[in-house]
Structure 1
Amino acid sequence: MAARGTAAAGLAALGLSLAGCGAGGTGARDEGPARGASVAQSAPSPSSSPAPTAKRVDAVALVKNDPKVSAEVKRDLKPCVADEYPVDVSYGKLTGGSSDDIVVNVMTCGDAVGVGSYVYRAVGTEYQNVFRVEEPPVYAEIDRGDLVVTMQVYEKGDPVEYPSGENVITYHWSSNRFVEQARTHNDYSNAVGGGSPTAPEN
């Protein structure tokens, strides 16, 4: 995404990345040690079993078959190039289940604006929608077991690539639902001389 300060900019490309669609963000899998933490104190023994990999799902089918997803999002969810769809997918632990939860971000093809973010929880052999937001521009990601949703804020006259600021909302899973834990608003500085935008003000 070309907009400034989005959560998508720092994600690792471990989910479904669609470079052909112009999607700037990619999904990240929230597993393993925190950044900067030691992976292991000693070399693993030869008998160590490899870490299990997350079960991959058809995120496009998941969204299109979901009755909680708006008809508008479903209608606009089409391939950008060939059979490549503008979706980012993240796998990780959010709801305390035995299987990884799935975060799906649906974007536009041209400018990769997030139009919908969804969280799916494994329930038996099916996936249940336990969170959705369809107020663009929006992007959701997994951060240390919490769900972090970034929503960019536009003032009148703001171009798509230069929003005036952003709201960052952190949710934690509690009592079978996501509960808001923190909310931060960042205002962006004006671009100097019509060039690249500056860092957000604190």
Structure 2
Amino acid sequence: MRGLTGAGPGRARGSTQAVITAGAVLAAVVPFAAACGTGGTGARDEGPAHASAVAGAVASPSPSPSDTYRRVDAVALIKRDPEVSPAVKRELKPCSGEDYPVDVAYGDLTGGAVDDVVVNVLTCGDAVGIGSYVYRDVRGSYKNVFKAEESPVYAEIDKGDLSVTKQVYEKGDPVSSPSGENVITYSWSAGRFAQEHFHHNEYGNATGGQPTPVPDDN
């Protein structure tokens, strides 16, 4: 999994569109043709046709992916966000040339008219996640509605929910070999993300001791 140390089973990203940000301001809207799958893709899921539609009534058209997807300069977004810690901002530097270690995904997490933005800030050397953030469009500006800065951490869009993975270590574990991971699923409710599910995965190198969980500040 990108953003974690590579030990343990990887998890598929699903159909959510993800991009690597190069730091330049990208103002053009990019067609989002790949976003027509299920959950977290930016396109709204549609159920079976209603009886009125079958009978010939004109149904309201669903918004196209290009209507809901607006590409952002994730590096600038992180740097000007007061919710992001100074430590993460100090680490956000180009790895080579103008390439920043940032993963960006767009999708519907909060039910807004514009796709939400999930940003993961990574280290250059081993791509370990040091900060994960969710931004929601509020009247044309992006507002930070979620953050997790307990490294290693990585956030993804999973079928319309926010899935956050935090690796855990037993005493003596090297950084490259955590003993397991905590996977926490959040859903949007009453204007905030609320924890819905939690599960812990043990990796093959686990010795049977009690893992040290990463604290959850949300």
Identify the TM-score tier after normalising by the shorter chain.
Answer: 0.7 to 0.9
Checking the alignment, whether the CA contact within 8 Å between 1:170 and 1:182 is kept in structure 2 is yes
Cα-to-partner distance string for 1:64-101 (whole Å, 9 max, x where unaligned): 00000000000110000101000000000001111000
1:32 corresponding residue in structure 2: 36
Q: Which runs of 5+ in 1 are unaligned?
A: 20-28, 36-47, 192-202
1:70 corresponding residue in structure 2: 85
1:3 corresponding residue in structure 2: 6
Q: How far apart in 2 are the matches of 1:175 and 1:13? A: 24
Which structure has the bigger radius of gyration?
A: 2
2:132 corresponding residue in structure 1: 117
Cα-to-partner distance string for 1:145-165 (whole Å, 9 max, x where unaligned): 100000001122222221100
Q: How far apart in 2 are the matches of 1:93 and 1:177? A: 14
Q: How far apart in 1 are the matches of 2:160 and 2:149? A: 22
1:188 corresponding residue in structure 2: 203
RMSD: 2.9
Q: TM-score, normalising length from structure 2?
A: 0.70
Checking the alignment, whether the CA contact within 8 Å between 1:30 and 1:91 is kept in structure 2 is no
How many aligned residue pairs are there? 171
- The structural deviation recorded for 1:173 is 0.2
SS of the aligned residue for 2:20 comes to coil
SS of the aligned residue for 1:74 comes to helix
Q: TM-score, normalising length from structure 1?
A: 0.76
Checking the alignment, whether the CA contact within 8 Å between 1:149 and 1:169 is kept in structure 2 is yes
2:147 corresponding residue in structure 1: 132
Q: How far apart in 2 are the matches of 1:153 and 1:30? A: 34
SS of the aligned residue for 2:65 comes to coil
Q: How far apart in 1 are the matches of 2:16 and 2:75? A: 18
Matched, 1:60 2:70: no
Matched, 1:170 2:185: yes
Question: Aligned AA for 2:36?
Answer: G
Q: Which runs of 5+ in 2 are unaligned?
A: 23-32, 40-60, 207-218
Residues 189 and 49 of structure 1: CA distance in aligned 2, closer, same or farther (over 3 Å): closer
2:113 corresponding residue in structure 1: 98
- The structural deviation recorded for 1:15 is 2.1
Q: How far apart in 2 are the matches of 1:105 and 1:6? A: 19
Question: Aligned AA for 2:73?
Answer: D
2:194 corresponding residue in structure 1: 179
Question: Aligned AA for 1:184?
Answer: H
1:89 corresponding residue in structure 2: 104
- The structural deviation recorded for 1:190 is 2.0
Checking the alignment, whether the CA contact within 8 Å between 1:117 and 1:139 is kept in structure 2 is yes
Residues 6 and 87 of structure 1: CA distance in aligned 2, closer, same or farther (over 3 Å): farther
Q: How far apart in 2 are the matches of 1:88 and 1:70? A: 18
Correspondent of 1:16 among 14, 19, 42: 19
Q: How far apart in 2 are the matches of 1:105 and 1:161? A: 19
SS of the aligned residue for 1:10 comes to coil
Checking the alignment, whether the CA contact within 8 Å between 1:153 and 1:164 is kept in structure 2 is yes
